[in-house]
Chain A
């Protein structure tokens, strides 16, 4: 007898639902934190190799304990709050930047359904914390919230370098969010859903409905290459990675908005940077590379794609110099925004003609 799995709901099986939810949250959070920690290690190792260095080698075998040592060190450092700063905002800022980065993970589907039986009933659990029907909007909103952390850090520090860093990043994030947001619009038009799960499901079909080429999946990178490029470039700007790392441009603004921060608060900024990198990679994977679809078991595909994206970001950092503020604005408003709009128009026309 083939049983159709029941969907867990809060109203019918409240305890089971809550338990499963907590487990999912714990797993997603712990995995993200671990990736954050080891992304720093991977970045140092990979860039080290690219720059004819070794990277960390001394702490633990092959330096594998380095992220933990770094964390411990920062944890025990003196936590300085400058006397001229606004203390409440100063403390709030690192939290405000880290929280949205982690929250965004909650709507990302990292695998298909997981089936298990409990008291004789077969249940299916989606490998996703929350399948919001406005998932993409939620992510865009959270990314926008992250700006406040940086602005607040810049203002609350009461330091000129931090202020400049804060102003730069506000302008930068707002301008690039626009291009990123518009580049995603083309995806909704094709998938006709805002749910990330729905978008992934739409990408599992054969490419452009051609049954004879069913081995090529209908990943949106194939029909939306321009949107993909805009999204990746815009995301790099939004997460302040090279070549768009102006807010914390070390050689110009000392450390930008986190100049005055020390100890664990400083570490939070760095965790946020890497968490954002993971989030952005996960979103790109979900929207353009078919999410968990691929040759291996669900979440393995997903993680592989996320890691490839992160490798790409690290690689870029080892290669490119930094753009200047005005050039950044020029690229954002005069090149990427019109391209994103044109992409929407072309997508719309194509849909009208062929679909």
Chain B
């Protein structure tokens, strides 16, 4: 046995494993319980979304974006429609009501994504009850999703130039009630976790990554802000009228799993604040931009007006054709910077669409965060990075 002391054990963690959040495969080299080397293998969920996009009209791509980060579909929708609007040069023509509703829905999406993150993260570390508490609140958001878009997960709600439809009657009140209940719920989760000695032991000082290392890798989102870098696209590169809202960007300097947890919880409170502000500012108005060649006309006009009928026919069969050019548009998705790089060759479908998914970039921090740590920390770090494989593999 003495001859074997230098040997390490290679263990295949995933793709079928309860806590790799989907189909992530980690090849772990273990010395006892200590991780010597961690190699993430990705690609088990590759569906070729970028390639598929090259053969679809711009409107037909929106449902594909739902399937990127399937825990935050509306943020993906938003990033994409903003990119196309920028490509078309109609960013300034988006009506105010559309902007407000987009903000409300994407902030609800952020809450939804963070709730799933907290649920799974806590469950990975062994706190089962938090999981069910979070899913109770997430259920309310899925109900709201269902009411606005008809789908509970793959929303496909935003359109180039506006929204699929206005908010249904009475939903504003429901969203307000929900947003007002968030602080109490966050307090409930904090009561179970923040002061808990075992929770602190499992998260403080685990998966540390310095600000420099995080910037070098390109980590964004809450993981970057927990390393002390004050960077949030909503404030630093505003879109959708985010400059109208008063909110704080939570920043902490612990660089560890515990501070990433705190940052995300604070973000949930801020999101609830933004939703309430947006609801206050929400006024009646059109939900589509006045761009007849891009936006589908109302059904009433299609059957009564020849011009609308032609537009409708053209948009549905051939789509619209932006000028040749290339643009990059990014949004602050719940997991970090979600970017769309679009190249148009003047045809009705993109020449190339490159997606910059936050999870993909953030995952690169995993090896240096877990090497030299214990096996149990791998699970905690996967949880704290908040990765979604649909977005990583695309």
Q: Which residue numbers of A lie inside 8 Å of B, CB to CB?
A: 47, 50-53, 160-161, 164, 168, 242-243, 245-246, 249-252, 254, 317-327
Given A160-B11, A251-B18, also A51-B128 (CB < 8 A): yes
Chain A residue at minimal CB-CB distance from B122: A321
Residue B51 lies at the interface, judged by CB distance under 8 Å to chain A: no
Interface 0/1 of B170-201, CB less than 8 Å to A: 00000000000000000000001100101101
B376 adjacent to A249 (CB under 8 Å): yes
Chain A residue at minimal CB-CB distance from B32: A167
Q: Which residue numbers of B lie inside 8 Å of A, CB to CB?
A: 9, 11, 17-19, 33, 122-129, 132-133, 136, 192-193, 196, 198-199, 201-202, 374-379
Shortest beta-carbon contacts, A-B, top 6:
A322-B126, A251-B19, A51-B132, A321-B127, A321-B126, A321-B125
Could you list 10 further interchain pairs (A-B, Cβ under 8 angstroms) beyond the known A160-B9, A326-B374?
A51-B132, A52-B136, A242-B126, A252-B376, A254-B18, A317-B128, A318-B129, A319-B127, A321-B122, A326-B33
B376 adjacent to A50 (CB under 8 Å): no
Q: Which residues of A contact B193 (CB under 8 A)?
A: 321
Say what secondary structure dominates the interface of chain A.
helix
Which of these, B9, B19, B127, contacts A252 with CB under 8 Å? B19
B133 adjacent to A249 (CB under 8 Å): no
B33 adjacent to A50 (CB under 8 Å): no
Q: How many A-B contacts if CB must be within 8 Å?
A: 81
Q: Which residues of A contact B136 (CB under 8 A)?
A: 52
Q: List 5 A-B contacts (CB under 8 A).
A: A164-B33, A251-B19, A325-B33, A325-B374, A327-B202
Say what secondary structure dominates the interface of chain B.
helix
B9 adjacent to A245 (CB under 8 Å): no
Given A160-B9, A321-B125, also A243-B198 (CB < 8 A): yes
Q: Measured between C-beta atoms, what is the minimum distance from A38 to chain B in Å?
A: 21
Q: Which residues of B contact A324 (CB under 8 A)?
A: 201-202, 374, 376-377
Given A250-B18, A325-B376, also A51-B129 (CB < 8 A): yes
Give Cα distance in the complex from A230 to B377, angstroms: 27
Chain A residue at minimal CB-CB distance from B136: A52
Given A51-B132, A322-B198, also A251-B123 (CB < 8 A): yes
A249 adjacent to B126 (CB under 8 Å): yes
Give Cα distance in the complex from A246 to B376, angstroms: 9
Give Cα distance in the complex from A122 to B379, angstroms: 64
Give Cα distance in the complex from A250 to B124, angstroms: 8
Q: Which residues of B contact A52 (CB under 8 A)?
A: 132-133, 136
Q: Which residues of A contact B9 (CB under 8 A)?
A: 160
Q: Which residues of B contact A317 (CB under 8 A)?
A: 128
Give Cα distance in the complex from A251 to B377, angstroms: 11
Chain A residue at minimal CB-CB distance from B377: A324
Give Cα distance in the complex from A249 to B126, angstroms: 8
Give Cα distance in the complex from A115 to B122, angstroms: 54
A323 adjacent to B133 (CB under 8 Å): no
Which of these, A50, A250, A320, contacts B198 with CB under 8 Å? A320
Q: Which residues of A contact B202 (CB under 8 A)?
A: 321-324, 327
Q: Which residues of A contact B17 (CB under 8 A)?
A: 254
Q: Which residues of B contact A318 (CB under 8 A)?
A: 128-129
Q: Measured between C-beta atoms, what is the minimum distance from A149 to chain B in Å?
A: 22
Q: Measured between C-beta atoms, what is the minimum distance from A37 to chain B in Å?
A: 22
B376 adjacent to A321 (CB under 8 Å): no
Which of these, A53, A164, A251, A322, contacts B132 with CB under 8 Å? A53
Q: Which residues of B contact A327 (CB under 8 A)?
A: 201-202
